[in-house]
Structure 1
Amino acid sequence: MAVEIIPCVTDDDLDAWRRVRIAVVPYERTQSVAELRDSDTPDRLLLLAREDGRVVGHGMAKRSESTGAGTVIPRVLPEHRRRGVGTALLQRLVEHVEELGHPMLRSGADDEKSLAFARRFGFEEVDREVEQTFRLTGPVEPTPRPDGIEVVTAAERPGLWEAAYEGFGLEALAGFAVDTPLDVSPESWARSWLADPMFLALHEGEVVGCAGLGLDPDQPTRAENGLTAVRGDWRGRGLAVHLKLLALGWAADHGIAEVYTWTQDGNAAMRALNTRLGYATTRVGVQLSRPTLYP
């Protein structure tokens, strides 16, 4: 049966796209249709794969936040795999990244079958991420706030998050333990890296730390930790623990039963902090890369 690959255009297309993602990666938050619309960029391509009019998979290609690369993500519903759908999607996604002019491809895999598929097409492991999960069983009390620190939410101070990009943001992004430096634009920082709620630690009016939560409307009892970071001169004073516990306390107060976070395997300090707070390791994700042009 021929595979039909079409771009997402309508809201119905986007709804079908997100339903594939929910089915394949139910353990991660999926953007709403409105969020998918709002996060659209000229370099992003969303695809649907159909067989006999039925949606059997989807794909996404866009500029990666890893320098010099484009991201490709083909996904196929389990019952429709091993019939060429993933290959057809990947081909279209790679073509799109080639048109964007990026010399490298980035992708990821959370299970052995997906990893084997990627390796068939020349992708090699370049990094790993560890998922850690905190299960809430009651109220969470934060540690005392460090002297000289004021904590507000980003919603309480409109524009503060955007203004923090040049100093705090660039330092936080440069500190990621990744194989390739991140290249995050101010627009992406404002649009994609701001959680809600996002707790901001201020010293003399400047952002020196943050921690937040990404809520999941499809699974209201689960949330993902947003970026947790502390400026270098404020590390070692208990600020990261204070902010993280504020976020977990907010989660407990709002009926969330489980908070998960993805941390780079090389970020031993953050993984150790999470373990100390009571997070358990629940999953490992493999980051993959290969040149765009593949013989």
Structure 2
Amino acid sequence: MALEITRCESDADYEDWRRVRIAVIPYERTQSLDELRRGDTPDRLLLVAREDGAVVGHGLAALSDTAGGGTVIPRVLAEHRRKGVGTALLDRLTQHVVGLGTPVLRSGADDDGALAFAHRFGFEEVNREVEQTFRITGPIAVPPAPEGVEVVTEQERPGLWAAAYERFGREALAGFAVDTPLDVNPSRWATTWLADPQFLALHDGEVVGCAGLDRDADTPIRAENGLTAVRGDWRGRGLAVHLKMRALAWAADHGVEEVYTWTQDGNAAMRALNTRLGYATTRTGIQLARRLAD
């Protein structure tokens, strides 16, 4: 059979790309067509692999949020694996990242098959993260916010999130427990890192904490937590708990039954907070990297 790998251009291509992701990792939300379109940047490449016109896999390559890294993600439908499709996709994605001039390839694996594939091509583990899931079975009680704090959403007050990048965002990003610091520019912060709804805690007009949700358009009873963070001088006052529970209450009020989040293995404080609030650990993800010089 003839394998054809093409760049996503039409809406039909993007929907085929979405279909592969939903099939391969059904436990995570997949961006909608509109979200994928809005995320188009010169550095990002989305591919669809077809055999005799039938979709068999897809790929993604782009600059990583990790400094000096380029992300490569090949995925192949289960019934079409071990036929060279993943290797062909990885080759195209790697070529794209080489063209971006980054020294490190980064990827991830959530199962033994994906991990074995990555090891064949020289990828090694650099970080781990755990998925924690909260099941909603009734109304959510929200404890009061600390005195002097007002909580609004970015959707109600557009522009607060982008404006918070320098004073709040940089600190929040620096707190990630990863092998290499994150390198997120203001544009990516204002778009890719923005959840809907995005709850923002304000004190004297400045953002001092955040928590958000992204609902799964394909499975509306499920949502993913966005970034939850509190500025250093506001920690230990119950603000993180208030924001997390506020997001969960919004989910309960909008028919969501399951909220999940990914937390770095080294972020013991957030993992402990999630556990205390009732999140259960449901799976582990492995972050991988390989230097292009190798």
Structure 2-normalised TM-score? 0.99
Q: Give the root-mean-square deviation of aligned CA atoms.
A: 0.7
The separation in 2 between residues aligned to 1:160 and 1:36, in whole angstroms, is 23
Q: In the alignment, residue 205 of structure 2 is paired with which amino acid?
A: G
Q: Which residue of 1 aligns with 2:135?
A: 135
Q: Is the 8 A contact 1:133 1:279 kept in 2?
A: yes
Matched residue of 1:156: which SS? coil
Matched residue of 1:21: which SS? helix
Q: Which residue of 2 aligns with 1:255?
A: 255
The separation in 2 between residues aligned to 1:85 and 1:128, in whole angstroms, is 27
Does residue 54 of structure 2 align to residue 54 of structure 1?
A: yes
Alignment of 1:74-85 (within 5 A): 74-85=74-85
Matched residue of 1:133: which SS? strand
Q: Is the 8 A contact 1:3 1:88 kept in 2?
A: no
The separation in 2 between residues aligned to 1:149 and 1:43, in whole angstroms, is 39
Q: Is the 8 A contact 1:133 1:280 kept in 2?
A: yes
Does residue 115 of structure 2 align to residue 89 of structure 1?
A: no
Report % sequence identity. 75
Alignment of 1:270-289 (within 5 A): 270-289=270-289
The separation in 2 between residues aligned to 1:284 and 1:112, in whole angstroms, is 11
Does residue 187 of structure 2 align to residue 187 of structure 1?
A: yes
Alignment of 1:88-237 (within 5 A): 88-237=88-237
- What runs of 5+ residues in structure 2 fail to find an aligned partner? none
Residue 243 of structure 1 deviates from its aligned partner by 0.4
Q: In the alignment, residue 239 of structure 1 is paired with which amino acid?
A: L
The separation in 2 between residues aligned to 1:108 and 1:257, in whole angstroms, is 27
The separation in 1 between residues aligned to 2:2 and 2:11, in whole angstroms, is 25
User: Residue deviations 1:107-151, cap 9 Å, x none?
Assistant: 000000000000000000000010000000000011121111111
Q: Is the 8 A contact 1:97 1:292 kept in 2?
A: no
Q: In the alignment, residue 196 of structure 1 is paired with which amino acid?
A: D
Does residue 18 of structure 2 align to residue 14 of structure 1?
A: no
Which aligned segments of 4 or more residues in structure 1 are displaced greater than 2 angstroms?
none
Residue 2 of structure 1 deviates from its aligned partner by 3.1
Number of residue equivalences: 294
Residue 156 of structure 1 deviates from its aligned partner by 1.2
